[in-house]
């Protein structure tokens, strides 16, 4: 097997969103067992001006969805960002996984030098070539928000470990 834009992107994103779903399932189990108000976790922020847990999950999904759409040119579904519960967040992850499963590898292969213009902060855009966009923006951004979602749960006592992040249910 040779590394290609599609193999550096699609299975990586699918695995990490699947692992995020696994981590969310552990959080759901935690609030049920402890009889905790789930919003104690879903609205939790690690700093007053950081995004809460729900938003970390939504951005993780959108980092993948928008990144795959920009590289492949395969139109992505629009979501309304109204999710508040663990069940709704799980559904959002599944919808994102379903979208990327429709994207053929061939639509991403060969996009190393494709010019990608994307929003980068309020009122700003940046343009990078496909490979730089994938390895220097899209994937670091996905990992950032998945790790932050994980850390919010971990900080609040949910019994997750790095192996859940790396391997999901296979851990």
Name the nearest CA neighbour of 169 among 2, 22, 12: 22
Q: List the one residue from 5, 64, 68, 100 that touches a second copy (CB under 8 A).
A: 5
Region label for 3, one of left (φ > 0), alpha (ψ between -120 and 50) or beta (otherwise): beta
Phi (first) and psi of residue 116, to 5 degrees: -115, 120
Complex with a second copy: residue 50 or 98, whichever CB lies closer: 50
What b-and-e string marks burial along 2-20, b requiring 16 or more CB atoms within 10 Å of the CB? eebbbebbbeebeebbebb
Q: For 46, which DSSP code?
A: S
User: What's the closest the beta carbon of residue 147 comes to a second copy, in angstroms?
Assistant: 4
Q: List the one residue from 30, 53, 86, 165 that touches a second copy (CB under 8 A).
A: 165
Q: What's the half-sphere exposure (Cβ side, CA atoms, 13 Å) at 11?
A: 7
Applying the rule CB under 8 A, the residues between 112 and 151 that interact with a second copy are 112-113, 121, 129, 131, 135-137, 139-141, 143-144, 147-148, 151
Stretch that binds a second copy, among 22-30, 46-54, 62-70, 81-89 (CB under 8 A): 46-54
What the block records as the tokens of 171 is 């851990």
Stretch that binds a second copy, among 28-36, 66-74, 90-98, 159-167 (CB under 8 A): 159-167
Applying the rule CB under 8 A, the residues between 16 and 35 that interact with a second copy are 16
Is 103 strand, coil or helix?
coil
User: Rounded to an integer, what distance in angstroms lies between the CA atom of residue 152 and that of residue 44?
Assistant: 7
Complex with a second copy: residue 7 or 39, whichever CB lies closer: 7
Binding positions for a second copy, rule: CB under 8 A = 1-5, 7-8, 11-12, 15-16, 46-47, 50, 112-113, 121, 129, 131, 135-137, 139-141, 143-144, 147-148, 151, 154-155, 157, 162-163, 165-166
């Amino acid at each position: 097997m040779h590394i290609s834009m599609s193999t550096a992107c699609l299975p990586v994103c699918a695995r990490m969103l699947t692992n995020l779903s696994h981590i969310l399932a552990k959080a759901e189990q935690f609030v049920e067992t402890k009889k905790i108000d789930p919003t104690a976790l879903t609205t939790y922020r690690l700093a007053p001006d950081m995004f809460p847990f729900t938003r970390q999950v939504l951005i993780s999904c959108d980092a993948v969805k928008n990144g795959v759409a920009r590289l492949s040119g395969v139109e992505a579904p629009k979501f309304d960002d109204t999710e508040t519960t663990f069940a709704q967040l799980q559904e959002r992850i599944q919808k994102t996984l379903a979208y990327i499963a429709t994207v053929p590898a061939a639509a991403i292969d060969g996009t190393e030098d494709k010019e990608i213009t994307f929003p980068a902060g309020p009122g700003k855009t940046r343009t990078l070539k496909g490979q730089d966009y994938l390895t220097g923006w899209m994937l670091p951004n996905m990992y950032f928000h998945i790790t932050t979602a994980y850390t919010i749960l971990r900080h609040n006592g949910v019994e997750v470990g790095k192996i859940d992040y790396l391997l999901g249910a296979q851990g």
